[in-house]
Amino acid sequence: KQEVTQIPAALSVPEGENLVLNCSFTDSAIYNLQWFRQDPGKGLTSLLLIQSSQREQTSGRLNASLDKSSGRSTLYIAASQPGDSATYLCACSYNTDKLIFGTGTRLQVFP
């Protein structure tokens, strides 16, 4: 069964900290893995997409890594800001293009 798990479920940090969000998946035969953020009452904003052949992707203060053999991905956020407060979701795509979502990490960055 294809399952995606994220830990921690919630995280509260002071502004300026570097932090790591974790995502694990049971089926390593992924096509790609995508990280999203979701603000309360809003839709999902795509942050990074890592193809199965890639090891990492970077965008600004965000860096996502992928280790297929261990079934893990991490999202690294450098120098966190209050505006980073949101729920972060990872999602795996397999051979039918549908996304299997993780349970999310609710992040709060306080000033």
Give the tokens for residue 37. Answer: 């953020």
Helix residue ranges per DSSP H, the chain: none
Cα separation, 26 vs 56, in Å, equals: 19
Residue ranges in 23-82 that form contacts with another protein under rule CB under 8 A: 31-32, 34, 36, 41-46, 49, 51
Q: How many binding residues for another protein (CB under 8 A)? A: 24
Nearer to another protein, 42 or 61 (CB): 42
CB atoms within 10 A of CB 10: 10
* Segment interacting with another protein (CB under 8 A) among 11-19, 21-29, 76-84, 85-93: 85-93
Residues binding another protein (CB under 8 A) = 31-32, 34, 36, 41-46, 49, 51, 89, 91, 93, 96-104
